[in-house]
Homo-oligomer: A and B are copies of this chain.
Amino acid sequence: MVALVKKRSGKAGLPPGSLVHIGKRRGVKPAITLIRYDEAGFEEGKAAGVSECFPLVDEGRVTWINVEGVDDPDTVRQVGEQLGLHPLVLEDILNTEQRPKLEDYGGYLYIVLRMLSCPAGTGGILSEQVSLVLGPNYVISFQEGIEGDVFDPLRERIRTAGGQVRKSGADYLAYRLIDSVVDGYFSVLERLEDTIDSLEGELLKDPGPGTIQSIHNLKREMIFLRKSVWPLREVVSSLERGESSLIRESTGVYLRDVYDHALRIIDSEETLRDILSGMLDIYLSSVSTRLNSVMKTLTIIATIFMPLTFLAGVYGMNFRFMPELEWRLGYPVFWSLIVLIGIGMFIYFRRKKWL
């Protein structure tokens, strides 16, 4: 189950900018990879420490430093010192329960995103915070270090000469990173839709108390998705509006495309939500309908057998003078009466559409 409320109180009382890891510990040793490229070529490598990556001398090339694993405040602090990042940025990178947001610190942009994925085989949604620091000619990305990396196809593109990304600047690289994150939302949406489809089938065939629980769990996951994608929409919208000089105009049209994707995700999420609400109505009405059918059964049985039992009781009485009891045909007449009453009741209930 996704934990929906972010815990933070452990840090209450500490001064702002204190570098303490907040959130779920992943137990990942920080791994730093460095890619430097321009249209002409690229170089790639793993760095043993932060100091290897700095300084970012060559102005003409784009540098992408990816830090995987933020359990350890040290790496983050060193990156911050090298680039002169504001303490609050470092604090937010370490607190992996941020809300997606964009902050413009003049010389660089700080972007927080939430990456969602549904690995095959597991039932739930994996969530990971991705922080981006976008400078004039560099992007530093921080991941929590969950298995599987949606940035791999992008790395492959950079290695390929002639791609758009090699020709463009750091802002385009940041766009591609954001786009990769947003693409992950579509696969989450698809899994949610599949679950809803199968729930809908279950609802029509064999609804049980588990169905309502599944609907409830699905709702929680969709709340989680919504809480991630709405602020993301705002982040991309701010970027696209071109308020920062770090975003070139040519990148704007691509950001508009991402914005469009975010809108479609929101649209789909709202649609699924409406469908879920409808399913709850169907469930409740099906429970009522079944109750009705149970009660009809009971009423039919009672209505048929109560008069019959009464009649049998009457002829079990011990009054001395009960002429019927002496009749030769008393017993067959009794059974004929019973059968007549039964048939009458049956016709009556048919007419009332209870049978």
Contacts and interface: CB of A to CB of B under 8 A. Distances in A.
Interface string A175-219: 010011001101101100100000000001010010011001001
A12 interface: yes
Interface in A259-311: 260-261, 263-264, 267-268, 271-272, 274-275, 278-292, 294-299, 301-303, 305-310
**A interface, over-half SS:** helix
B313 A321 contact: no
A212 B309 contact: no
A46 interface: no
Given A292-B294, A331-B321, A303 B301 contact: yes
Contact of A325 (B223, B263, B318): B318
B315 A305 contact: no
A3 B227 CA distance: 24
A261 B204 CA distance: 38
Contacts of A52: none
A179 B271 CA distance: 26
B319 A271 contact: no
A213 B282 contact: yes
Contacts of A282: 212-213, 216
A199 to B, nearest CB: 13
A209 B289 contact: yes
A253 interface: yes
Contact of A213 (B204, B253, B272): B204
This chain's copy number in the assembly? 5
A264 B7 CA distance: 10
Given A17-B164, A292-B294, 12 more contacts: A5-B190, A12-B183, A12-B187, A13-B153, A97-B264, A291-B295, A298-B299, A301-B302, A305-B310, A318-B322, A319-B325, A322-B331
11 contacts: A8-B261, A8-B264, A9-B187, A16-B176, A99-B264, A292-B294, A295-B295, A298-B298, A298-B303, A301-B303, A308-B310
Interface of A: 4-9, 11-17, 86, 88, 97-99, 101, 103, 105, 150, 152-154, 157, 163-165, 176, 179-180, 183-184, 186-187, 189-190, 193, 204, 206, 209, 212-213, 216, 219-220, 223-224, 227, 253-254, 256-257, 260-261, 263-264, 267-268, 271-272, 274-275, 278-292, 294-299, 301-303, 305-310, 312-331, 334, 353-354
